[in-house]
Amino acid sequence: MPMPWTYRHASKEWRVFLDDVKERMCLESDNSAYTAVDAVLQVFRRRLTAEQGLEFADVLPSVLRAIFVYGWDVSKEPVPFAERTAMIAEAKQVRVDHNLTPNNAIEATAWAIRRCTNKRDFERVLRKMPKGAVEFWHVAVDDPAELEQRII
């Protein structure tokens, strides 16, 4: 079996994703963007069981997959989805002394993730997630082509 594309081109996928998210969040540094994305992923995974989280991670590019599962305490019970403002406030509490996460962090991360994942696989997995997951990753755009996968 050939090496999966996402492993062979992990750096390229990550760079494109990080540039997208930095631009969308109006952040200057890779570090700030990484912290915001990591925080958003932590907020989402807190609402999933380990099984659900691993299924979700399987549709992410390899670097995002690694960030999603890194340091996850799977022994904790999932919490319910909350209002968007509450989940953004939660994201801002991750590494609070080094966190410049903007108010559009969830939307910006969702926008960038949708541009680097297979839409059909991403939507299929989201439909299996708890109530609130689809809304968490929803992005409203005027032109659906804006969310087409950029790296295939």
- Fold assignment, 9-147: Globin-like (1.10.490)
Tokens for 127?
A: 């439909």
Tokens for 18?
A: 């990080």
DSSP string across 65-121: HHHHHTT--TTSPP-----HHHHHHHHTTTTGGG----TTHHHHHHHHHHTSS-HHH
- Cα dihedral across residues 120, 136, 57, 38: positive or negative: positive
Q: Residue 147: its pLDDT value, please?
A: 75
Tokens for 75?
A: 């022994």
pLDDT at 38 over 80: yes
- Cα dihedral across residues 102, 17, 79, 141: positive or negative: positive
Q: Residue 148: its pLDDT value, please?
A: 78
pLDDT at 82 over 90: yes
Least confident of 37-46, 56-65, 78-87, 142-151: 142-151
DSSP string across 126-142: HHHSPTTHHHHT----S
Statement: the pTM of the whole predicted model exceeds 0.85 = yes
pLDDT at 5 over 70: yes
